[in-house]
A and B are shown apart, each in its own frame.
Chain A
Amino acid sequence: MADQEHIEIDTLLDMPAPGRSRTGRAASLARLLHQDCTYLLELYRERESLLSDHTPAGDRIVSLSLSSPDLSSDEQVQLLHSALRKCLGLLECLILREEEEMGELEGEYETVRKGVRDRLGHLLHSTKVLLETEEDVTPDHQCNEEVDGVVGTFGAKMWTYRVLLELIHWANSASQTLHVLHSEREGREEI
């Protein structure tokens, strides 16, 4: 099911589309990614028996600010693209660590996790197309325990928890930013 959806998205991305449609599709993609990330966190909490009101302590992992008033929409998308690259790197690292810790499992969590990775990659491609520059779409994160501050098994779980929260945050930011960009471009074309 998820594979089929990804194939459809690939097809969508490959199709030539006017600017307005590209931003609309990217915004839709971000919205779907946000839903997937939220669901992934839900599955993670369920698997780890973590209550929803128990939140991990710690600072933001990806600290980029999109809320500066001086940033134009394109600059915001640029920042967003960078943040998403870091998120993809974190997710790749997360998958690697979990597979080391638990082996290659084939549950629903693992399926959704793979879907989020693929969709995040698609979103990176979309934002790259929107920026009309040769942006890098590769994951931007070195999977290093010392850097990540992962100490012990539980520390790795808390790091995972924070990464998932980070994914939700940036997927939501992407959805909103791209929606605004889409609205702006739509209004510009109407004028």
Chain B
Amino acid sequence: MPSLFFCILLLGLGVTESQASGLAPPQQVRLDADKETQTLSVTWEDGHASTFDVEILRTELMEMVLNETVGVTEDQSTGKHQWNWTSPVPLECTSLSVKVRSRDGQDVSEWSSQQILPGLDLPDNTDSQMYPEGKTVPVGSNMTFCCIVEEGQQFGSLWYKDTLVKENMLSRRTYATTMTNQGPSNPSGTNVVCSNEKKMIIAGAVVFVGYPPLPSDLVCETHDLISVDCQWSKGRDTYLFGMTRQTYYTLNGRNCPKARNSNMRCGLEQWDGNWTLVARNLLGEFRLTDAAELGHRVRPVAPVNLTTPEVYSWNASVGWLWKDKGFERLSLICQVQRTSHLNSSTQTYTGYGLNTVVLKDLQPDEKYSVKVRCGSQKNFWKWGEWSLPLSFQTKMDRPVAPDIWLWMDSDNLGRVLWKPLTKSESHGQISGYEVILWSPEENSQQTLTLPRSVYSLPINVTDRGSKVTVTARNPAGVSLPANIVIPRYLPGKNGGKRVVIPRHLPDAEDTAISKVAFNGSGFPLSWVAHANASCGYVVDWYNTSCTQDCNVEWIKVAADNTNTMVQSGNFLAGVRYKFSLYACSSESTVLLERWHGYMQELVPSRTVPRLSPNQEGADVQLTWDQIPLEHQRGFILGYTVYLTNASHLTLLANITDPQLTNHTVRNLVLGSYKFTVKAYTAAGEDGGATVSISLEPYTYWLIMEILVALGTMTCLLIVITIACYRKRKWVKKAFYPEIPEPKLPGDWGITQGTLDVKPSPHSMVHIVEDSVWDSSKEALVTVPEEDEEGTGDEAADTDEPASLRYYNQVVEEGSSSQRRPHASDSSASSTGSMDSGHTDVTYTGIQTSACSLAPMAHFQPQPDASQCVGGGGYRPQMQSASCPEEPQTGPEEHLQPPVGSFGGYQPQCSWKQDSPEADGDGLDQTCLGSPTSVTSSQFLLPYDTSEEGKEYPSSASTWFHNLLTGKP
């Protein structure tokens, strides 16, 4: 039931709408497409309404493109309605369906039949295509490009230039993209490329994006008083090139084919007075206009056929012709530009039909190049073109007087100097110079002719007050003379100033010489005005380190000037120049002031000479000489002293007084030092001179120490001597007691006196070297040095027999083995006593004898050994019988082993080796039968058992060494 009601309602509404419209639908709808402009024209008939609904769809996908109500009036002549629509998408891209209905307010008619505009993506058009192709659009415009893919291929991508863009599908084969605000293209246009899935280019289009022309500044003028030549500026670049898209110009409707690239000009044969320029390209056109009277726009062509009818030394005339006769009747203003090697200048001339001018103030013998341009004097518009240049050369004239100067190399020898004449001074090729020496005292003159390459003449200035005249000569004549007077008065005082002939004065004579700095262009000098500078001032300068034939330069300054800038192309860096200011008068030349300076200071070119160190105790004084002037290359500001350690320099001193050429480095410890001294200028330090010194102990101190030591020893000896002298009785008693005279029962017939007993060879004490045996009281034992360290047994193993010490065992009651530490003591006071005789025997010279050792070793175990009492003791009286019986040749054999064997002390029978005569002497063969006091001055020496009569030389030296070193 409800559904039935709903159906009835819908049917009723439909009937109502159809009935309400009453409007007839448009008939004979027709579509016309202008694909170039992408415009669709829709026409229909029988639509009596003025408002229509238009609906446009993409046919294939039935997508709505447009649904719009438009007002279209009927064309009364045709009775048709026409409506145009511009499609944003090229009409080729895909088919469009269009239908129209009439509208009258809310009443609408039925839709017209649908009309289809077929696209190029229909199946019968199989190729790949892209649209629009080859369009030219303004910069900033938006465009939609579509790609129709070839039937059977797959769409890949769309590229605008080298940018991948997003596509939109319009139909089965058509894909589109819209580019907005496009920028200018390059000359070949902007490519839009469509590729398939294999990245192969299947279609593409080119769009040219640019600007319409926009020229400016149209100006028209005449060059010949007849035709017109218009020029303008190209203005903004259109970015459009090629025959199709480039800009074309017309002037007053006539083409301007030559107006291309940057040459924007166009001409007409006749002066019109009004001109219109039209610039046109595919994007539009632009118009420029100009208007003027002919007389206001005259820009003459360049004069032709320039000539120089008259040429002199100082002036010349220049003429020309006009190509167009009209200028001969026109008031003209002309510029003549003349150029020489010196300069270029322009002069202006005016005249009616001007065609010749006179050039003044030319230089003689000078090459000139002139060119001319003119303009209309009345209503001047612009200068015309320059003519072609014309060259000519002026005639020669006599030269100007040379600039001369007198320079004294010594008191009497000098040079007359003159500067070479410049091109502007010589007025022609100089052929030579003439020098006249005037001597007023002798009233004579001497004339010398010099070639043109000579600029000085040595003179002997003996005639004070004489005059020198120099003239220059060229083919045109002789110059005016240049004179200089040799001052009559040489060194003297004049107004407190030195009157001199300019010369190179030693620095010592310079009373005031100040520094002047180069300011980039020259040396600025200024001074106080001098009253006698009647003919001005002269500043000369030279290389200070120059000694002879110096190159002297000078400038002359007018009397009213008190400053100048000294400039020269000869200034060199690192060279000291001395500048002298002279006041010039007719009588003399007065030295006023001197300066010296460097164009550029450099570091010294060499190091300080003669650098030498001198040790003064713990100090080192460094001295050096000043760097020669030619090597200074700058004002020496001081010296720096460095301590050099490997490559590292430690600054010790900075001497800011350049006159100071020494420096003392104090408080140095012993060792080697290396010092570097560098001189420095404003430009820096030189490479540095280096010197080495090795500090050694002070020699005088060493000598002093030795003297002090000797003196101390001397004093000590004196004290000991005095002490010994005062205590001599004690000393004698202690060390050299009186030996009581033996009380003999009879008279020995010996007179009272000194008993001189020559030591018999047999009176020597025989020392047996035996470090083991010490049981006997009456034995001399050897005590190794090492005994003091408690290693007495080990001493036997030592390899140094010289280190053994021998002490006499003093035989005393109650003292079996008292040691005497010093051999000298032993020798001096070896005292022995025998019970039998109670005789004190002092042995001061004990020598060993081997002869008594062997028998003792043999006899000891024998039963009859009682004849030689004791094992090895001191038994002087007990050897006499047995010793002679022993062979004298065999002691060595018996001395060797055993180690524990000993030898006795037998002074009375052991002198054989020391006394060769003893062989046949009966006294030598026997021992003394009574105690004998023997004084010996010989040291106790170890006995050499291997070589007869040979002593150990090292014993004495060892003893002496021990004495000196204080060892016991």
Mask of A149-182 contacts with B, CB within 8 angstroms, 1/0: 0001110011000000000000000000000000
Q: Does B241 reach chain A (CB closer than 8 Å)?
A: yes
A102 touching B187, Cβ below 8 Å: yes
**Looking at the complex, which one of B133, B162, B199, B244 makes contact with A49 (CB distance below 8 Å)?**
B162
Mask of A98-120 contacts with B, CB within 8 angstroms, 1/0: 10111101000000000000000
Q: Does A188 reach chain B (CB closer than 8 Å)?
A: no
**Looking at the complex, which one of B130, B187, B191, B204 makes contact with A103 (CB distance below 8 Å)?**
B187
Report the bound CA distance from A98 to B186 in whole Å: 13
Residue of A nearest to B188 (CB): A102
Report the minimal beta-carbon distance from A152 to chain B, rounded to whole angstroms.
5
**Looking at the complex, which one of B191, B195, B242, B246 makes contact with A154 (CB distance below 8 Å)?**
B191
Q: Does B189 reach chain A (CB closer than 8 Å)?
A: yes
Interface residue total, chain A, C-beta cutoff 8 A: 21
Q: Does B557 reach chain A (CB closer than 8 Å)?
A: no
Contacting chain B: which of A6-14, A50-58, A66-74? A50-58
Hey, which chain B residues are within 8 Å of A47, CB to CB? Answer: 186, 188
Hey, which chain A residues are within 8 Å of B193, CB to CB? Answer: 50, 54
Q: Does A48 reach chain B (CB closer than 8 Å)?
A: yes
B189 touching A49, Cβ below 8 Å: no
Report the minimal beta-carbon distance from B395 to chain A, rounded to whole angstroms.
49
Give chain B interface residues in 144-201, CB to chain A under 8 Å: 159, 161-162, 186-189, 191, 193, 195, 199-201
Hey, which chain B residues are within 8 Å of A50, CB to CB? Answer: 162, 191, 193, 201
B191 touching A157, Cβ below 8 Å: yes
B134 touching A152, Cβ below 8 Å: yes
Hey, which chain A residues are within 8 Å of B203, CB to CB? Answer: 154
Report the minimal beta-carbon distance from A105 to chain B, rounded to whole angstroms.
6
Hey, which chain A residues are within 8 Å of B202, CB to CB? Answer: 57
Report the bound CA distance from A153 to B189 in whole Å: 9
Mask of A121-153 contacts with B, CB within 8 angstroms, 1/0: 000000000000000000000000000000011
Residue of A nearest to B164 (CB): A51
Instruction: Give the interface size bracket for B toward A.
Output: 20 to 34
Mask of B420-452 contacts with A, CB within 8 angstroms, 1/0: 000000000000000000000000000000000
A48 touching B188, Cβ below 8 Å: yes
Q: Does B206 reach chain A (CB closer than 8 Å)?
A: yes
Q: Does B336 reach chain A (CB closer than 8 Å)?
A: no
Report the bound CA distance from A154 to B187 in whole Å: 14
Given A54-B201, A57-B201, A152-B134: A100 and B187 within 8 A (CB)? no
**Looking at the complex, which one of A49, A53, A56, A57 makes contact with B161 (CB distance below 8 Å)?**
A49
Report the bound CA distance from A145 to B133 in whole Å: 17
Report the bound CA distance from A128 to B133 in whole Å: 43
Q: Does B243 reach chain A (CB closer than 8 Å)?
A: yes
Hey, which chain A residues are within 8 Å of B241, CB to CB? Answer: 101-103, 105
Report the bound CA distance from A103 to B121 in whole Å: 35
Give chain A interface residues in 31-72, CB to chain B under 8 Å: 47-51, 53-57
Hey, which chain A residues are within 8 Å of B878, CB to CB? Answer: none
B242 touching A55, Cβ below 8 Å: no
Report the minimal beta-carbon distance from A164 to chain B, rounded to whole angstroms.
14
Most buried by B among A50, A100, A102: A102
Hey, which chain A residues are within 8 Å of B188, CB to CB? Answer: 47-48, 98, 101-102, 157
B206 touching A153, Cβ below 8 Å: yes
Report the minimal beta-carbon distance from A158 to chain B, rounded to whole angstroms.
7
Report the bound CA distance from A57 to B156 in whole Å: 14
Report the bound CA distance from A154 to B203 in whole Å: 8
Hey, which chain B residues are within 8 Å of A55, CB to CB? Answer: 199-201
Residue of A nearest to B202 (CB): A57
B187 touching A153, Cβ below 8 Å: no
Q: Does B205 reach chain A (CB closer than 8 Å)?
A: yes
B187 touching A48, Cβ below 8 Å: no
Report the bound CA distance from A1 to B244 in whole Å: 33
Most buried by A among B159, B162, B202, B244: B162
Residue of B nearest to A55 (CB): B200
Hey, which chain A residues are within 8 Å of B187, CB to CB? Answer: 102-103, 105
Given A47-B186, A47-B188, A54-B195: A100 and B242 within 8 A (CB)? yes
Residue of B nearest to A46 (CB): B162
Report the bound CA distance from A4 to B130 in whole Å: 44
**Looking at the complex, which one of B134, B189, B200 makes contact with A54 (CB distance below 8 Å)?**
B200
Report the bound CA distance from A56 to B205 in whole Å: 13
Closest 4 CB pairs of A and B: A153-B206, A49-B162, A154-B204, A153-B134
Q: Would you list 29 pairs from A and B whose C-beta atoms are within 8 A, ordered by A residue?
A: A47-B186, A48-B188, A49-B162, A50-B162, A50-B191, A54-B193, A54-B195, A54-B200, A54-B201, A55-B199, A56-B200, A57-B202, A98-B188, A101-B188, A101-B241, A103-B187, A103-B242, A152-B133, A152-B205, A153-B133, A153-B134, A154-B130, A154-B133, A154-B134, A154-B191, A154-B203, A157-B188, A157-B206, A158-B204
Can you add 18 more A-B contacts, CB < 8 Å, to A55-B200, A103-B241, A153-B205? A47-B188, A49-B162, A51-B159, A54-B193, A55-B199, A57-B200, A98-B188, A100-B242, A100-B243, A101-B242, A102-B242, A103-B242, A152-B134, A152-B206, A154-B134, A154-B203, A157-B206, A158-B204
